[in-house]
Chain A
Amino acid sequence: NAGVTQTPKFQVLKTGQSMTLQCAQDMNHEYMSWYRQDPGMGLRLIHYSVGAGITDQGEVPNGYNVSRSTTEDFPLRLLSAAPSQTSVYFCASSLAGAQETQYFGPGTRLLVL
């Protein structure tokens, strides 16, 4: 198993550009989430999904869109990048269940100029 994979590892954008951060998992996990981590801070939830076709907003959803057309993939779209979106983005997945733990990907470092 590759676990949770994220691409790209690093990206530089100009203000106003759009892009999609990719996240995939091969563990047949129902739940997937996107977090962002700003320097010196903990992770904050952006969007999450409890299954294919179902998504919902987390703590900081503004400026981001998600979709879940398959169990394996959960892409995060930046509609019009802003410097405030400079951050490290982590994708996570888990099985359904009250005590299931989350597995995190290696992260995507995004710099918006």
Chain B
Amino acid sequence: DAKTTQPTSMDCAEGRAANLPCNHSTISGNEYVYWYRQIHSQGPQYIIHGLKNNETNEMASLIITEDRKSSTLILPHATLRDTAVYYCIVRVWGETSGSRLTFGEGTQLTVNP
């Protein structure tokens, strides 16, 4: 799986948009970009994923650059409950390897009142 690079930490004011960047310059054509978050040592929680098009769901938006070498997770109106470690993961799914995720160290997002 491709290696990802994320900033160690970021701060955001409550109510503002949080933009979390991720570099994945070695991504290959069949690898998806996934975002998970982990709140206070709970089990990781799925946020969103994409292949090459921008994606949006009820939690966030995912912007993937045209060359797919980087992406940005956007939380449009951050709340205190969004304080968590955010993981950007690039993975290939395979019938024999199943759903394997390779976690890096992630970005600690702190939302301030």
Q: Which residues of A contact B102 (CB under 8 A)?
A: 45, 59
Taking a contact as CB atoms under 8 Å apart, the answer to whether B106 and A42 are in contact is yes
Q: Which residues of A contact B106 (CB under 8 A)?
A: 42
Range of interface residues on B (Cβ < 8 Å) = 20 to 34
Q: Show the binding face of B for A, using Cβ within 8 Å.
A: 32, 34, 41-46, 49, 87, 93, 95-106
A-B contact pairs, 7 of them (CB 8 A): A33-B101, A50-B95, A88-B41, A92-B101, A96-B95, A100-B99, A106-B43
Given contacts A98-B32, A106-B43, 14 further A-B contacts (CB under 8 A): A33-B101, A41-B105, A42-B103, A42-B104, A43-B44, A45-B102, A49-B98, A92-B44, A94-B99, A97-B93, A99-B49, A102-B99, A103-B46, A105-B43
The interface of chain A, by Cβ under 8 A from chain B, is: 4, 30-31, 33, 35, 40-45, 48-50, 56, 58-59, 88, 90, 92, 94, 96-107
